[in-house]
Chains A and B, each alone.
Chain A
Amino acid sequence: MKLPSRNTQFLARDSYRMRRLMDAARILPVLGLILLVLPLMRLDSGAESPPTAAEAVYLFLVWIGLILAAFVMSLWLRRSLGPPRPLVTPVSGRQGMAAPSMPPVAPKDD
């Protein structure tokens, strides 16, 4: 699936959903990090021994939650990916590029 260019101002509903899903995919690791450092804020310095079992349950639950979220997202996101590379690399995949004898386009800015 080829996504519309970035310059397009408005997208069809499907493309719009896909864009938001990509946003979600970018947010997920941040959310994950926040959830994973939460135990730090529950520290009870007065306790003799740390509540390791409870923390472990919490961390593993967050962990499996992240995995599930990534699983659901990957089902959708993989549609926006290109075709696979052939196992035996073709001698040249450049037929499509009728290369003009011009130097490459100068970068826009640095």
Chain B
Amino acid sequence: MSFNLLVLTCIAYVILLFFVASAAERSAQQGRAKWLRSPLVYTLSLSVYCTAWTFYGAVGYAARSGLEFMTIYLGPTLVFVGWWVLLRKLVRIGREHRVTSIADLISARYGKSNLLGVIVTLLCVAAGTPYIALQLQSIALSFTVFVSDPGRVPLAADKNIIAFWVAAGLTFFTIAFGTRNLDANEQHHGVVTAIAVEAVVKLIALIAVGIFVVWFVASGPSDILARIDAQALPEWTIQPGRWTGLILLSAIAIICLPRMFQVTVVENIDDKHLATASWAFPLYLFLISLFVLPIAVIGMELMPEGANPDMFVLTLPLHLGQDGLALLSFLGGFSAATSMVIVASLALATMVSNHIVVPLWLKLRAARNLDSGNMRLLVLSVRRLSISLILALGYIYYIISGGSEALAAIGLVAFVGVAQALPALMGALFWRGASRNGAALGLSIGACLWFYSLFLPSFGPDVMISAQVLEHGLWGQSWLRPYSLFGLTTLDPLLHALFWSLLLNTLAFCLGSLLSFPSPIERVQGALFVNIFDRPGPTRSWTNPVAQAEDLLPMAQRILGASEGQAFFRAQAELQGKSGFLPDITPEFLQGLELKMSGSVGAATAHAMISQTVGTAVVSVEDLMAVASETAQIIEYSSQLEAKSEELTRTARKLRDANEKLRTLSDQKDAFLSQISHELRTPMTSIRAFSEIMMDAGDMSVQEQAHFARIIHDESIRLTRLLDDLLDLSVLEHGQVSLDIRAVNLRDLIDKAISASKSVQAQRNFRILRSRDPEDVEIVTDSGRLTQVFINILSNARKYCDATDPQMKIIVRQRKTMLEVDFIDNGSGIPRDKQALIFEKFSRLTDSLQAGGAGLGLAICREIMNNLGGDIDYVPGQGGAAFRVSLPLVLERKPMAAQPPAALARAEDAD
């Protein structure tokens, strides 16, 4: 095939990709891109793992080492089949924290440390450069193999020039689609779709060649298996060390490779896509690997001695005259190489700009105190420049290395390089104690070891490292020989480098983490990352900022673009219930802004930029004080509320009590009225009845008349007494009684009361037991009223005491300023349930006729005693009815003004 035709085919293919990519971008912008982000596209985009190294190199690898080529695909298969353990967490963290690259993730986890970002970026660039060179080499190689007329076009023979133009073209494509805008999540719909198309092309191409080989060259699977065994070389024997080591290495690589991180984590939009990819991506790898060994075996069989097995996929169809198949195969290889270069350079450029150039530039700006200008344009320019730089580096590496090595070797060197990020990454996901210092130490040591023991020697003796050093070690120290460090000579160079670098890396990482103390922000991030499934919702670390929204808006506009930035601010203001573009600068708002910006420039840079504007890089003491005082205020306020509510409860209870009391009083008043009308009615009725008899009956004897008149007279007296009592009670209750206070002897009063009470039931003979000495007390009180109380008690006893041989004990006691007089009879006393009632008005324990009173006696006694500053109580358990009268020895004459409150107090005491 002519060179020009081949070039035209390539250009047409690239233009097709270009259209696919821009169509995808357009529909993504219009929001119609559902199918673009389907699990299928996600899975196909993962196939960027299968580079030209797979497409061409795997066959060469199989031809040299047999089944060992499979390890490169078995490792990733295990990682994806076990997605639940690792990838699920990685993807979730990447999405929640808007991670833009593996360097960004490690930097964000370890306290948004830019140092770690720089280390990982440098490591990835160092490891990625040879890998990109490898792609350029394979494309250049395939061109020279394919072109049938190298004589006519001198250009076609010069691989370096071809590689240069390929690099330039890829730079252009990557810039056009990878840096069209600063996407919020660093997602590139166009690129991902183009990659998916390329994935299909390379799969179809390889399977087509495979089917041709198995069914058209050989005669089916069994024939192929026979030929495999026939061709098997002794070197094909599986070597245990390399077999497990390479499975492990490729498993690490699929996690740590920057381009794989880009498509797996950064471009992921849904956990469910990962669920699909968990089986679909291994299936893709399976299909890619299925025909590798057959192609290698047939190639070895049919191709002339000395043919490069790395090119069998291309040369075998050509050799067999299948030009169309060869062209398809060429396009497959071209696809594999271009997709890898595009994604890798995009991922690396993002890392370089976010972790090296922009922070440096911010520092410079801070030093010179300059305005930042258009950040957005700056970031985009930096990214474009970085892409060019990385491809240029790849090209330079290709020129230097001479493009002569086997493809597989370069790929594995890169794998070991990126594997150095593994301990820090695993620590980030699963170990909260992992610290920044440990990660930095481990990464540095691992990177240095890789550089010295694998990367530099990979150029060959006397290119980067002298044959002298290679042979005898640095400074002639044999334990420093690059391929047998510390005297370890049994492993091959790759495993040797992998073993020492990962071992010492991990040890340093663990030791550094165990011995250092992480900063607060590191610990917060650590908890958020490790417990990503327990705690939905992103980090919050901004407290009481001092910046104004006016300062932040221009910065956000520069990063996010004018319309996007304004839309974000307006939406945030709306959330806070404000109109316009300037929300309050709350910690939540700053958090959101940082997250949004970190999608564009990385976590560390976004944090640094907001820190710079806000004015506090870390949480200051003032912030903490503010938070503390805010908390204190809240606590105080809530305790005030609590006190208030308690007070309210108390007031409510008081009100309820007062209400209850009022109701009781009202009930009592009703009962009193009904009682009093009853009491008045009874004598009235008999008076009326007897007076009517006397009026109607004319022939009434004088005796009868006298009898009836006496009844009427008695009833009138009873009525009068009742009215007197009521009046008395009313006067006493209202405190309007005028007391006649003077000094008297208690014994005289008791004497008087005993003799006065004798008229009641005079026929009963009471024995009075007295002790006359204690009774000899001078008291100052109203003697008349007090005597009335004594008489009442003694009369009651005479009336109600049911003992056959009644007796009354009178005991006088002095207690401080109070005097107690107990009246105890030997009757059956008052039943317990009635004891509370006896002092109530109209309470009579027996029939009213028998008692001959209105039942007001004890009620009046209580009122009198209250007026005399004392009290009267029933004392149970004394062997009969026992009343205790207590009164002060000296009754203070109360001023008149104090009486109404006293009356009120009594009303309250009454119940």
CB distance from B644 to the nearest CB of A (A): 23
A19 to B631, CA, bound (A): 41
For the complex of A and B, list the 9 residue pairs with the smallest distance between their C-beta atoms, beginning with the closest: A29-B82, A84-B270, A91-B571, A25-B84, A78-B275, A71-B279, A70-B279, A107-B527, A81-B271
Chain B residues near A63 (CB-CB < 8 A): 74, 77, 282, 286
Across the interface, which residues of A come within 8 angstroms of B651, CB to CB?
A: none
Partner of A55, one of B238, B271, B290: B238
Q: Which of B31, B244, B275 lies in contact with A87, CB distance below 8 A?
A: B31
Cβ-defined contact, B244 with A50, below 8 A:
no
Interchain CB contact (< 8 A) of B84 among A26, A32, A69, A97: A26
Q: Which positions 223-249 of chain B face chain A at CB distance < 8 Å?
A: 225-226, 228-229, 232-234, 236-238, 240, 243-244, 247
Contact with A along B521-549 (1 / 0, CB 8 A): 00110110000000001011101000000
Q: Give chain B residues whose Cβ lies under 8 Å from the Cβ of A49.
A: 229, 232-234, 236
C-alpha gap A73/B523 in the complex (Å): 35
Contacts of B571 in A (CB 8 A): 91-92
Contacts A36-B247, A49-B236, A63-B74 given: A26-B282 contact, CB under 8 Å?
Answer: no
Contact partner, B85, options A26, A103, A108, Cβ 8 Å: A26
Contact A107 B432 (CB under 8 A): yes
Q: Does B572 contact A (CB under 8 A)?
A: yes
Q: List 13 A-B contacts (CB under 8 A).
A: A29-B85, A37-B247, A59-B67, A67-B77, A67-B283, A78-B271, A84-B272, A87-B34, A89-B185, A99-B540, A103-B627, A107-B432, A110-B433
| Chain A nearest CB, measured from B183 CB (Å) | 9
- Are A77 and B275 interface neighbours, CB within 8 A? yes
Asked if B592 lies at the interface with its beta carbon under 8 angstroms from chain A, I say: yes
The answer to whether A103 and B77 have CB atoms under 8 Å apart is no
What 0/1 readout, one digit per residue, does chain A (80-110) give for beta carbons within 8 Å of chain B? Answer: 0110110111011011010101111001111
B276 interfacial by beta-carbon distance below 8 Å: yes
A2 to chain B, nearest CB (A): 11
B888 interface contact, C-beta 8 A: no
Residues of A close to B28: CB separation below 8 A: 87
Question: Using an 8 Å CB-CB cutoff, how does the interface string of A28-45 with B read, 1 for contact, 0 for none?
Answer: 111011001101100100
A50 and B66 contact, Cβ closer than 8 Å, known pairs A57-B225, A66-B77, A77-B275: yes
Q: Is the CB of A67 within 8 A of B236?
A: no
Chain B, range 170-185, C-beta contacts under 8 Å to A: 184-185
Select A94's contact among B232, B237, B567, B588, beta carbons within 8 Å: B588
- Interface residue count on the A side (C-beta < 8 Å): 57
Contacts of B384 in A (CB 8 A): none
Q: Does B95 contact A (CB under 8 A)?
A: yes
- A39→B184 CA distance, assembly (Å): 48
B714 within 8 A of A: no
B81 within 8 A of A: yes
Q: Across the interface, do A85 and B82 meet the contact criterion of CB distance under 8 Å?
A: no
A52→B575 contact, CB < 8 A: no
Q: What is the bound-complex CA distance between A60 and B118, given in angstroms? A: 41
B622-643: CB near A (< 8 Å → 1, else 0) gives 0000010011000000000000
Most buried by B among A37, A39, A101: A101
Given contacts A25-B83, A103-B543, A107-B524, 4 further A-B contacts (CB under 8 A): A49-B232, A53-B226, A78-B272, A81-B271
CB interface residues, B 30-49, toward A, < 8 Å: 31, 33-34, 37
Cβ distance A63 to chain B, nearest Cβ, rounded Å: 5
With an 8 A cutoff between CB atoms, is A12 at the interface? no
User: Restricting to B255-311, which residues have a CB under 8 Å from any CB of A?
Assistant: 269-272, 275-276, 278-279, 282-283, 286, 290, 293
* Given A85-B270, A97-B537, A104-B539, also A74-B234 (CB < 8 A): no
Contact with A along B318-346 (1 / 0, CB 8 A): 00000000000000000000000000000
| B108 close to A (CB within 8 Å) | no
B636 to chain A, nearest CB (A): 15
When chains A and B are docked, how far (Å) is the Cα of A74 from the Cα of B280? 10
Instruction: Identify the closest chain B residue to A66 (Cβ).
Output: B81
B34 engages A97 (CB within 8 Å) = no
| CA of A95 to CA of B572, assembled, Å | 10
Q: Are A87 and B523 in contact (CB under 8 A)?
A: no
Q: Which residue of A lies closest to B432 (CB)?
A: A110
Residue of B nearest to A47 (CB): B237
- Residues of B near A109 (CB, < 8 A) are 432
A33–B79 CA distance with the chains assembled, in angstroms: 10
Q: Is A11 an interface residue (CB 8 A)?
A: no
Q: In the docked arrangement, what's the CA distance between A101 and B70, Å? A: 55
The distance in angstroms between the C-alpha atoms of A110 and B107, with both chains bound, is 19
Q: How many residues of B contact A (CB 8 A)?
A: 72
Indicate whether B220 reaches chain A with its CB closer than 8 angstroms.
Answer: no
Instruction: Tell me the bound Cα distance from A67 to B282 in angstroms.
Output: 6
Chain A residue with the shortest CB-CB distance to B234: A49
> Are the CB atoms of B518 and A110 closer together than 8 Å?
yes
Hey, which chain A residues are within 8 Å of B540, CB to CB?
Answer: 99, 103-104
Contacts of A91 in B (CB 8 A): 567-568, 571-572
A64 contacts the other chain (CB 8 A):
yes
Known contacts A49-B233, A91-B567; is-contact A84 B269 (Cβ 8 Å): yes
Closest to B78 in A: A29
B587 on the interface (CB 8 Å rule)? yes
**Known A28-B81, A87-B28, A94-B592; contact A70-B243, beta-carbon cutoff 8 A:** no
Interface: B80 (CB within 8 A): yes
- Compute how far the CA of A50 lies from the CA of B79 in the bound complex, rounded to whole angstroms: 28
Q: Which residues of B contact A77 (CB under 8 A)?
A: 84, 275
Closest Cβ of chain B to A36, distance in Å, is 6
Alpha-carbon distance A107/B528, docked complex (angstroms): 9
* Measured CA separation A5–B340 after assembly (Å): 42
Chain B residues positioned under 8 Å from A110 (CB to CB): 432-433, 518, 523, 526
Question: Smallest Cβ distance from A88 to chain B, in angstroms?
Answer: 6
Inter-chain contact A97/B81, CB cutoff 8 Å: no
Closest chain A CB from B51 CB (angstroms): 20
A103 and B540 alpha carbons, distance in the complex (Å):
8
The answer to whether B244 and A37 touch across the interface, beta carbons within 8 angstroms, is yes
State whether B238 touches A92 (Cβ < 8 A).
Answer: no
A74 and B238 contact, CB distance less than 8 A: no
Bound CA span A107–B526, Å: 9
Query: What's the Cα separation between A84 and B33 when bound, in Å?
Result: 14
Closest to B627 in A: A103
Residue numbers in B under 8 Å from A59 (CB-CB): 67, 70, 74
Tell me which residues across on chain A come within 8 A of B588, comparing CB atoms: 94, 97, 99
Among A39, A63, A81: residue with most chain B CB under 10 A: A63
CB pair B247–A87 under 8 Å, yes or no, is no
C-alpha gap A71/B78 in the complex (Å): 13
In the docked arrangement, what's the CA distance between A53 and B293, Å?
9
- Known contacts A37-B244, A82-B271, A92-B572; decide if A50 and B527 are in contact (CB<8 Å): no
Cα separation A62 to B453 with both chains bound (whole Å): 35
CB-CB contacts below 8 Å: B73-102 with A: 74, 77-85, 95
Q: Which chain A residue shows the least CB distance to B268?
A: A85
Indicate if the CB atoms of A56 and B232 lie closer than 8 Å.
no
**CA gap between A81 and B89 in the complex, in Å:** 12
Cα-based distance from A21 to B236 in the complex (angstroms) = 39
Query: What's the least CB distance linking B588 to chain A, in Å?
Result: 5
A74: chain B residues at CB < 8 Å are 275-276, 278-279
Give, as a whole number of angstroms, the nearest-CB distance from A30 to chain B. 8
Q: A28 CB to closest chain B CB, in angstroms?
A: 5
- Closest B residue, CB atoms, query A3: B533
Q: From A53, A66, A88, name the one whose CB has the most chain B CB atoms within 10 angstroms.
A: A53
Question: Which A residues are in CB contact (< 8 Å) with B82?
Answer: 25-26, 28-30, 32
Q: Contacts A39-B238, A59-B70 given: A67-B279 contact, CB under 8 Å?
A: yes
Give the contacting residue for B229; candidates A51, A85, A87, A104; CB below 8 A: A51
Residues from chain B with a CB closer than 8 A to the CB of A14 are none
Q: In the complex, are the beta carbons of B238 and A60 less than 8 A apart?
A: no
Partner of A70, one of B33, B80, B527: B80
Q: Is the CB of B81 within 8 A of A69?
A: yes
**Contact indicator A53/B229 (Cβ below 8 Å):** yes
Chain A residues closer than 8 Å to B244, beta-carbon distance: 37, 40
